[in-house]
């Protein structure tokens, strides 16, 4: 079901990119599919990453979380160094590796999410617990929260 929803969102996004940029692509690059082609390549890479991480045991991510967070921190610092960070639209937030430009802050967000996988195990709770679809009870770090009253 997750893959179907993802595919629908990707197709909708590709249609939106095509309808909004085919004239600019033709005028500036001589190719009406210039922007949608680039978007499709990165969409396929994203879907491939989705499938990879769906099949991966999250405990492996738990082990990689600290090195990934250190790499993200190095990228965030590298952006601030003169000659390494690239300025676009008045802000220096990009690192460029050949034809690919990357914002380290996006990678840092993913690393912070993977680091949060360490919280339940370190506190003695082995897993997140969610019960029922309308009964919003969950347990985190040994503390049981009940949000049922808020609904």
Tell me what the mean pLDDT of segment 85-100 comes to.
84
Confidence of residue 61 (pLDDT cuts 50, 70, 90): confident
First to last CA, the chain: 27
What band does 17 get if pLDDT is binned at 50, 70 and 90? very high
pLDDT-based confidence at 39, cuts 50/70/90?
very high
- Cβ-Cβ contacts under 8 Å for 7 (sequence gap 6 or more): 47
Amino acid 140: pLDDT: 53
Interacting residues of 6 by C-beta distance below 8 A, sequence separation 6+? 47, 50
Map out the domains of the chain as residue ranges: 1-55
State how far Cα 13 lies from the chain centre.
Answer: 16
Q: What percent of the chain has pLDDT over 70?
A: 77
Whether this prediction's pTM lies above 0.85 is answered by no
Cα–Cα–Cα angle for 82, 86, 92, nearest 5°? 85
Contacts (Cβ under 8 Å, ≥6 apart) of 46 = 10
- CB 123 within 8 Å of CB 133: no
**Statement: residue 133 has pLDDT above 80:** no
Q: Which of 12-26, 59-73, 119-133 has the lowest mean pLDDT?
A: 119-133
């Amino acid at each position: 079901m997750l893959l179907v929803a993802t595919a629908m969102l990707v197709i909708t996004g590709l249609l939106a990119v095509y309808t909004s940029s085919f004239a600019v692509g033709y005028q500036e690059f001589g190719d009406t599919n210039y922007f949608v082609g680039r978007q499709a390549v990165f969409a396929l890479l994203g879907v491939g990453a989705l499938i990879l991480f769906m099949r991966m045991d999250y405990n492996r991510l738990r082990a990689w979380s600290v090195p990934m967070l250190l790499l993200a921190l190095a990228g965030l610092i590298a952006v601030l160094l003169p000659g390494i960070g690239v300025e676009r639209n008045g802000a220096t937030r990009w690192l460029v590796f050949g034809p690919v430009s990357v914002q380290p802050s996006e990678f840092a967000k993913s690393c912070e999410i993977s680091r949060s996988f360490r919280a339940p195990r370190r506190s003695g709770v082995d897993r997140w617990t969610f019960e029922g679809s309308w009964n919003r009870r969950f347990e985190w770090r040994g503390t049981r929260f009940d949000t049922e009253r808020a609904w």
